[in-house]
Amino acid sequence: ATADIGLTGLAVMGSNLARNMARHGHTVAVHNRTTSKMTDFLDAHGSDGDFVGSESLSDFVASIKQPRAIIIMVKAGEATDAVIDELTGLLDDGDILVDAGNAHFADTVRRQQALEEHGIHFVGMGVSGGEEGALNGPSIMVGGSDHAYERLGPIVEDIAAQVDGTPCAAHVGPDGAGHFVKMVHNGIEYADMQLIAEAYDVLRSVAGQEPAELAEVFRRWNEGDLESFLIEIAADVLAHVDADTGRPFVDVVADSAEQKGTGRWTVQVALDLGVPVTGIAEAVFARSVSGHDAQREAAQKVFEEKLDAPEVGEDFVEDVRTALFAAKVVAYAQGFDMIVEGSNEHDWGIHAGEMATIWRGGCIIRAKFLDRIREAFDDEPDLTTLMTQEYFATALREGERGLRRVVTTATAAGVPVPGFAGALSYFDALRRDRLPAALIQGLRDNFGAHTYERVDRDGTFHTQWATDDRKEVEA
């Protein structure tokens, strides 16, 4: 056996990861269920480094040094289970199987437990950065055992993106921790994209700016606090002109956003954990609304009158910029809350600051301000919320005016801004002294004797609403 690591599943992501490892001097065993894909891969990319191609799974397994490390890069779900089943019988005690797809962390936990009985270390590994990242340096979130990371760590840290000499790869925690963190990453990606899309919509629909001008605005924003991959490619997409029609590309694309499901998972899991990730939830629902063609068509016929956009001055662009940054801070704070909560719930010991560190490069949400998030958790590992840490608190104070103005202006103009409005409501809810949740508690007690607590003394109480004297009793 000569290969340092094996990879089965040579679609674009898999073949790019294999090439990346080979380019870094690792000998990579490659396999694909349809053999021609494997031979085509070797024909096209064999010169990238040392590969050992095998037609059968048993030859593939035999070609890898022990303890073996094998990356599975096939479709999430049944296809993954099928490959795992086939491989299980061929592996030895201490071998490591890595699922590098976007699997649900609960599936990863289930698979790990099942394989533990066979002495196999199963690893859920989140890989972000798309096809480009896989080839040139992704961000890699590794779950699973310490034994598995000892074997995998040197290779994944080698092929990951590097920022200031630090690899954007880490052992996030045991079992499903890697896929959990990748899932939250994608949820934050949804929230971030929704806010960027709303900023574009408001500036176009209220301030009347054209896509080409807005590309310039985004390009400028990318030189400040907002500097990030998503802002950079937003400028790129807005500047793009459709070759067929000569119209802005963004005007010829159907306005119904799709989703493969990781954002939805994030919200489902957040509901179970009880973490209010309102930014991610609004983003998932906004995509869903965009795809409800029948309802949109029906509403457009009945409520056809357009609202007049209020007049705005030059300073509106700056208001949108500060609003975007403030709303982003809220969305990221919620995402990090979820990581902390998930880690506590599953006893994973995830280091929140380390997640910010490995997201600084390679992944879709890579951004300058992740450095600030890393610093915040370095200073205060048990930070209650990112929103109150000095740098982010300043961003929120500076963005608050803009955020209110964007939400009120957009609302007056009939432009939907669920991301901005949700961020503002979350911010206001946290900072307010009293919330109307007190009335909700009163209603619950009134119709269902669900009890309440008081502000002035300990205990649980119920008011006998049906009696004349409405006596309060201790429950």
- Residues at the binding site are 9-14, 32-34, 74-76, 102, 128-130, 185-186, 190, 260, 287, 444, 450
**In this chain, which of 24, 147, 247, 260 binds ligand 6PG, going by CB under 6 A?**
260
Mark the binding-site residues for substrate, compressed into ranges: 102, 128-130, 185-186, 190, 260, 287, 444, 450
Catalytic residue from among 37, 132, 182, 472 = 182
Q: Is residue 263 part of the contact set for ligand 6PG (CB under 6 A)?
A: yes
Omega cis (within 30) before 416:
no
Which pair of structure tokens corresponds to residue 49? 């480094």
Residue 50 in 3-state DSSP?
A: coil
β-pairing verdict for 121-128 and 139-142: antiparallel
**In this chain, which of 9, 129, 361, 418 binds ligand 6PG, going by CB under 6 A?**
129
402 vs 312: CA distance, rounded Å: 12
Q: Which residues pair with 408 in a beta bridge?
A: none
CA distances from 333 to 106, 340, 344, 370 (A): 24, 11, 17, 11
Interface map 280-319 toward ligand 6PG (x if CB under 6 A)? ----------------------------------------
Q: Taking a C-beta distance cutoff of 8 angstroms, is the pair 376, 391 a contact? A: yes
Q: Taking a C-beta distance cutoff of 8 angstroms, is the pair 49, 22 a contact? A: yes
Q: Is residue 398 annotated as part of the catalytic site, yes or no?
A: no
Catalytic residue from among 189, 198, 282, 354 = 189
Q: Is the dihedral of CA 350, 353, 358, 360 positive or negative?
A: positive
Q: Is residue 445 part of the contact set for ligand 6PG (CB under 6 A)?
A: no
Rg of the chain over Cα atoms, rounded to whole angstroms, equals 25
C-alpha 16, offset from chain centre = 22
Q: Is residue 364 part of the contact set for ligand 6PG (CB under 6 A)?
A: yes
CB closer to ligand 6PG out of 326 and 358: 358
Please list every residue from 35 through 94 that binds ligand 6PG, using CB under 6 A: none
Q: Please state the length of the chain.
A: 475
Q: Is residue 189 annotated as part of the catalytic site, yes or no?
A: yes
Q: How far is the CB of 168 from ligand 6PG (least distance, A)?
A: 12
**In this chain, which of 46, 94, 130, 153 binds ligand 6PG, going by CB under 6 A?**
130
Q: Is residue 128 part of the contact set for ligand 6PG (CB under 6 A)?
A: yes
Question: What residues make contact with ligand 6PG under the rule CB under 6 A?
Answer: 102, 128-130, 186, 189, 259-263, 363-364
Give me the active site residues, please.
182, 189
